[in-house]
Structure 1
Amino acid sequence: MFPFWLESAYANSSIDFLIITNNKLDAKKNIKVVNMEFEELKLVIQKKFDFPISLPSPYKLCDFKGAYGVIFCNFIKGYDFWGFGDIDLIYGNIRLFLTNEILSNFWVISGWGHLTLYKNNEMCNNFFKNYLEGFQYYKNVFSNPKNSAFDEYNHRGLSDMWKVLYPEKIWNYYPFDDIRVPRINFNFISEFHLECSHKLIFEYRNKNLRRIYVNSSGEAAQENILYVHFQQRGFMKILTNDKESYLIIPNKFIDIEEITIQKLDKWTKSRDIERNIWYFLNRIKRRFKMISKNTNNG
């Protein structure tokens, strides 16, 4: 899925993306790449704090996202906003939603771990250091090896703290689809838009991303969206070479074609057997990894 994320980021040419990685990746006009090993990155982050941090794995970086304005201060000079986002998503036309008016009136855009923007100023960059009774405190979070969801809502972290202290500074709307982890079958269920989840698919075309679904009247409907976020969908098959125009159906990326109610029915037909096979194989993989780890430790 990463090549499709990359192309959707590249299509938003007015926004610069910084990728810090130890993988070989070519930079583009608005895609900046910094090659760095994880151990080196840990040292960079540790130098920003006067207490020992705990960063046992890249996943723990999620808890440090709100501090990126301090950690990567040299990279954000001259920018109005900085932020962070996941790569298991596809962007639509970002500036169609994040207009100059919105960026002028708000300091925090979204506040979700899969995409958040902060105004590049002293207060926002250092907000993570705030202490508020009943909320997580950054020193405890940064020194704890376990993930604390410090970057997310509903975990007494930074976004919840912003809502309490400066609610007028947050642009917290949902022009995106956060797709639930597949439990019963592969079909898409949008966390904040259940009414748009019936026979839901996505179309990426002309640098715009649209949700397409069957509405309560039984008709095909569509809307432009900011992005779609997928979770734990490593099973998705790539059946198209076109990264500029394609459809995303519940378990595949496919070529663009005409969309009809009949095709929506076909694409979103329950695939319980496929899903159960995928789930079973993943359980075997996890069990094998656990056995291998115990064997190596023993």
Structure 2
Amino acid sequence: MKKICMVVPYFGKLPQSFNFFLLSCAYNPDVDWLLLTDDDRPLPYPENVHCVVMSFDALRARFQTKFSFPLSLERPYKLRDYRPAYGFLLEEELRGYDFWGCCDVDMMFGDIGVFITEDMLSRYDQIGRMGHFSLYRNTPEINLLFTAAAGEEEPYRRIFTTEENCMFDEWGAPGIRDLFRQAGKPTCDLDCIADISPDDSYFRTAVFQPEKQRWSYGKENCMGCWDRGRAFLMWKKGSYWKNKEVLYLHFPKRNMEQEALTEDACYIIPDKFVSTEYSIERLYTICRNRQLWNKARWQKGREGLRERLAKNSASKR
């Protein structure tokens, strides 16, 4: 497999579920991870996860040396707009790799080599349109493609000088995919992922549709399963269980609790990693109860209503 390095800046205390992320990295020894963080705790890093302890201010200062104009980078969350530039910004650390990429830490990887094949790496310059996992060919031309012009402007200058989140790494207009398309560079989407909706109390998949600028949601009430380096999405159809092997399971905006693992496997239900010793039917009952009440969706609805009322009140004044 071609040499790949995933870049992961994370500032603040790493989440409680981070050990599960590391475990899934360890089962992919052909891929390296570069973690840039100010969390200096002695965590169980596998050999292929290289932790560099540094402050957010230090990283921002380093990025600034690469540009002649002042950057707007006051919050770590804004780093997502800088993801398409990591090949340029961190070229020293990424030297010698065929591809570099970006990913989040609120996820568990399956067997990356099953889904990211040698054929894909030979054919495409960019793989994956979502910020929580994307790959870029590590060449000078591709690493500087983020600076390309779109029409009469160079979007990155506007994006790098505003604190607004412009989603440059995903579907922002223009986003990095637009620049690849404009340059005639081959890209590839991934349909082998399990991105879990953050707006529901139970597990259902969410897929963003850029052409419609909206999310679509899966119908199944799902569970996750991770077993010795392989990740699965599971759901019940009548009295039968079905499953789909995926590249990764992604749990955005969830405080995932964890139990001590007695083996390199776990079930994953909303907000918790649990032992495979539990009855799967008992766990599925928990999932169904979460769907029945769906507290997160009710809360989101109330927040939306408050915002609309506040706007209507302001317009009347």
| TM-score, scaled relative to structure 1 | 0.83
1:247 aligns with 2:264: no
1:10 aligns with 2:26: yes
Unaligned 5+ runs, structure 1? 284-298
Question: Share of identical aligned residues, percent?
Answer: 28
Q: CA deviation at 1:209?
A: 0.4
Report the Cα distance in structure 1 between the residues aligned to 2:141 and 2:28, rounded to whole angstroms. 27
Report the Cα distance in structure 1 between the residues aligned to 2:299 and 2:134, rounded to whole angstroms. 31
5 Å matches for 1:114-129?
Answer: 114-129=132-147
The root-mean-square deviation of aligned C-alpha atoms, in Å, is 2.7
1:226 aligns with 2:243: no
1:192 aligns with 2:207: yes
5 Å matches for 1:14-33?
Answer: 14-24=30-40, 25-26=42-43, 27-33=45-51
Report the Cα distance in structure 2 between the residues aligned to 1:154 and 1:45, rounded to whole angstroms. 22
Q: CA deviation at 1:100?
A: 1.0
Letter in 2 for 1:203: C
Change (3 A) 1:254 1:47: same
Alignment-derived partner of residue 172 in structure 1: 189
1:126-155 CA distances to partner (integer Å, 9 max, x unpaired)? 010011129870011001122111111254
Q: CA deviation at 1:11?
A: 1.4
Q: CA deviation at 1:265?
A: 4.0
5 Å matches for 1:100-111?
Answer: 100-111=118-129
Q: Is the 8 A contact 2:231 2:246 kept in 1?
A: yes
Change (3 A) 1:256 1:136: farther
Alignment-derived partner of residue 10 in structure 2: none
1:14-58 CA distances to partner (integer Å, 9 max, x unpaired)? 001000111114543101111111111111000011110011011
5 Å matches for 1:256-271?
Answer: 256-257=276-277, 262-263=281-282, 265-271=284-290
For this pair of structures, how many residues does the alignment match? 275
Report the Cα distance in structure 2 between the residues aligned to 1:142 and 1:205, rounded to whole angstroms. 41
5 Å matches for 1:27-66?
Answer: 27-66=45-84
Q: Is the 8 A contact 2:193 2:249 kept in 1?
A: yes
Q: Is the 8 A contact 1:240 1:246 kept in 2?
A: no
Q: Is the 8 A contact 1:141 1:148 kept in 2?
A: yes
| TM-score, scaled relative to structure 2 | 0.79
Report the Cα distance in structure 2 between the residues aligned to 1:189 and 1:132, rounded to whole angstroms. 36
Q: CA deviation at 1:174?
A: 1.3
Q: Is the 8 A contact 1:196 1:214 kept in 2?
A: no
1:78 aligns with 2:96: yes
Report the Cα distance in structure 2 between the residues aligned to 1:60 and 1:53, rounded to whole angstroms. 11
Q: Is the 8 A contact 2:223 2:284 kept in 1?
A: no
Report the Cα distance in structure 2 between the residues aligned to 1:62 and 1:28, rounded to whole angstroms. 25
Alignment-derived partner of residue 204 in structure 1: 226
Q: CA deviation at 1:273?
A: 5.7
1:231-265 CA distances to partner (integer Å, 9 max, x unpaired)? 1112x3223434721000123211014765x4464
Alignment-derived partner of residue 291 in structure 1: none
Change (3 A) 1:82 1:70: same
Unaligned 5+ runs, structure 2? 1-16, 209-215, 304-317
Report the Cα distance in structure 2 between the residues aligned to 1:182 and 1:58, rounded to whole angstroms. 23
Q: Is the 8 A contact 1:174 1:192 kept in 2?
A: no
Determine which structure has the larger strand proportion and give its number. Answer: 2
Q: CA deviation at 1:219?
A: 2.7
- 18-27 vs 4-13, which deviates more? 18-27
